[in-house]
Amino acid sequence: MRLTVWMSLVAIAILGAGCNKSDGPTTPTPTPTPTPTNDVFYAAVGASDGIGFGGSVPCVPFDPDCPSGTGYVYVIKRRFQSDGKTVMLSNRSVPGAVLSPAIMSLGRDIGRNDIPSNFVDSIPPFVPTTTTHITVFAGGNDTNVIAQAVRAGRAGADVRGFVDAAVRQWGSDYEELIRRLRARAPNARIVALNLPNLGAAPYLSGNTTEERSVVQRIAVGLSDRVNALTSQGILVADLLCDPRVYEPGSFYTDGFHPSDRGYAVMAELTYPRLSSGTGAAPSSSCPQRTLLPVF
């Protein structure tokens, strides 16, 4: 009985395959629709910089539109649009966030209970799987936490050893973030922005030279860990070695966040890499690495 039924089904399939146009119209098999080349699904990973804090038109966190926003994320979005692209933005930037659980833990240890989240745990699950372009800017808040831990005595007598260990941990955590982003959006092009030498930033102008030199060691160390990601196919926008980043007009009045001009420079360095997938490697030697005595 089973053999008879099976043979009947085969016969029906053969007859169906042999039908021609005289048997009636056929329905074509649907094929997947490829993503149009003019569609850009852009995800931004950052902290307060991602919403343009310090600019003349900051945006509400997670806002996909903000048509007049002056932060680099929204400048980049408009650059894509002016090049004829249709842009869907997922801005995952969280003001006050740090890179990883390790930095959060260090912050809590010195009484920093104002850190809302970290990139590694909180951001990748919310990056759309359809994302085609990603920017990552991390390290400013992390630099401050590490420097504050030094001032709080957590380094003991070996400040250099403490700083270098924190930088190594941060670099490993950054690689973990990249792994999670790639697992979530495997076809996305990723551009990472390295850090300026924050030891020379105006917000530390009242600190001692030694304290600013410690911050220089932290920020340059973190930037070197970002730069090393070029070996993993990550494109790097080199803020560290661009002299325009250090001009007074590039800073907001708090001396830490960028101004409209600062964000414009960030977008100018990032967009060509993000849009084309090509760009020069970050410099391994520039005067901006040692604006203060080397600690």
| pLDDT tens for each residue of 182-236 | 999 999 999 999 999 999 999 999 999 999 999 999 999 999 999 999 999 999 9
Residue found under tokens 């504050």: 148
Q: Which two tokens stand for residue 33?
A: 């629709």
CATH of domain 37-290: 3.40.50.1110
Whole-angstrom CA distances from 114 to 141, 258, 289 are 11, 21, 30
Chain centroid to CA 57: how far? 21
| Cα distance between residue 250 and residue 257, in whole Å | 9
Q: What's the predicted TM-score (pTM) here?
A: 0.87
CA-nearest of 272, 204, 174, 288 to 240 is 288
Q: Is 66 helix (H, G, I), strand (E, B) or coil?
A: coil
* Averaged confidence pLDDT in the chain: 90
Q: What percent of the chain has pLDDT over 90?
A: 87
Helix H or strand E segment including 56: none
DSSP 148-212: HHHHTTTTTT-HHHHHHHHHHHHHHHHHHHHHHHHHHSTT-EEEEE----GGGSGGGTTS-HHHH
pLDDT in tens, 13-66: 333 333 333 334 333 333 434 445 799 999 999 999 999 999 999 999 999 999
Q: Which two tokens stand for residue 291?
A: 């604006």
Q: Which two tokens stand for residue 37?
A: 């080349």
Q: Which two tokens stand for residue 173?
A: 């955590």
